[in-house]
Amino acid sequence: MTDPPHPPPLKRPTLAQVAALAGVSVSTASLAFSGSGPVSGAARERVLAAAEQLHYAGPDPRGRSLRQGRSGIIGVVLEERVLDAFRDPLRIAVLDGIAQETTPGGRGLLLLTDVGESSLVMDAASMDGVILLGCSPRIARSLDVSLRRNIPAVAIGGPPMAGVLTITLDDQQATEFEARHLYDLGHRDIAIVALPLDTSMEPGALTADRERAGTIQVTLDRLRGARAVFPESTGVMARSSLVREGMLAGHALLDDPERRPTAILAQSDLLAAGVIKAADELGLDVPGDLSVVGFDGIALDRIVPHDLTTMVQHAAEQGQAAGQAVLHLMAGESPKPVHFRSSFHRGGTTAPPRSRFPNTHSG
């Protein structure tokens, strides 16, 4: 925060000046703008004319916000830089849902990226409410400030936190459902392509050590769901939810024909798309040689020509629910916690495993 000492504060006309020019009191002028009180048509006319003449653009939000005790701004905390956060179509859909609910009524969304000196931002910004996207414990630090300010907070996913209305997701159960789907098809040797376990972790094999050090709830939950069916399953951790990352992971898991799993459970659709592309490059048929499931249910049908088997998340609705919840909290109400369930989409990327021993094929 080493700005030049005093960025010259532009001089703007004030309501008092307008009132003076119009020959009315400030309160009358105020009413003329807000329309929330009885003002004679003539008075209003004069005020507006005076405003026009002075290039007065309406009440200054700063004064208004100080007086009213609210700013009309809702913060959205992202855990990554914008580029990474919005590369994920799911997150965009969530944000869109939030925007749909909250921006009517003259409210705005303040984007806060929780990187570096973000706590400064949370300090400096005046928000009426805050929505948290993403959910490592590091975020708790930022959150702490909001809570101390008594700013209503809503989180989507993530661990339950005191003072935060959390919109809960079924990551674990949903993944377990998928895993069971693979199990029921006959798969016994599956591999996982996981999302990052921690923001500061390098991608690589999914070792027990790294898992223990993991902090990102959604990754851990989905892992847990997979382990409920395949306790010994392992795999690789990707750097982020990107097709490219999925390809790298896919090659890591599939390049060696000796140790190929019969199915891969990817923790996002984009990762799954990458895995399928890797399989394509290796000449493997999906689902003939390899079953693949994703997670999210984003429209992927143009990236890979497959109809991906996945768990569909209702992202826009999650965003809307978060938006509604924070508005309710701001109004002093006590909205009930919401839980979202994913829906299973049986696409065309899963099938029974090809027998390892074609000659025992009892057909």
Q: Which of residues 69-108 bind DNA (CB under 7 A)?
A: 69
Tokens for 23, please give them: 């020959």
- Cα–Cα distance list, 331 to 95, 137, 325, 334 (Å): 21, 28, 10, 9
Among 1, 4, 7, 42, binds DNA (CB under 7 A): 42
Min. distance of Cβ 358 from a second copy in angstroms? 31
Give the contacts of 51 (CB within 8 A, at least 6 positions apart): 18, 22, 33, 57, 58
CB 260 within 8 A of CB 233: no
- Which of DNA, a second copy, none does residue 126 bind (CB under 5 to 8 Å by kind)? a second copy
Using CB under 7 A as the binding rule, whether residue 50 contacts DNA is answered as: no
- Which of DNA, a second copy, none does residue 199 bind (CB under 5 to 8 Å by kind)? none
Looking at the Cβ atoms of 127 and 273, the one nearer to DNA is 127
Kindly identify the residues of this chain, within the stretch 253-312, that bind DNA according to CB under 7 A. Answer: none
Using CB under 7 A as the binding rule, whether residue 38 contacts DNA is answered as: yes
Using CB under 8 A as the binding rule, whether residue 120 contacts a second copy is answered as: yes
Using CB under 8 A as the binding rule, whether residue 205 contacts a second copy is answered as: no
- Cα–Cα distance list, 6 to 2, 10, 14, 66, 123 (Å): 11, 11, 21, 22, 20
Min. distance of Cβ 239 from DNA in angstroms? 40
Query: Which DSSP string do the residues of 190-259 spell out, in sequence order?
Result: EEEEEPPSSTT---EE--HHHHHT---HHHHHHHHHHHHH-TT-EEEE-SSS-HHHHHHHHHHHHSSGGG
Looking at the Cβ atoms of 87 and 239, the one nearer to a second copy is 87
Using CB under 8 A as the binding rule, whether residue 63 contacts a second copy is answered as: yes
| Interacting residue ranges for DNA, rule: CB under 7 A | 6, 12, 14-16, 23-28, 30-31, 33-34, 36-40, 42-43, 58-60, 62-64, 66-69
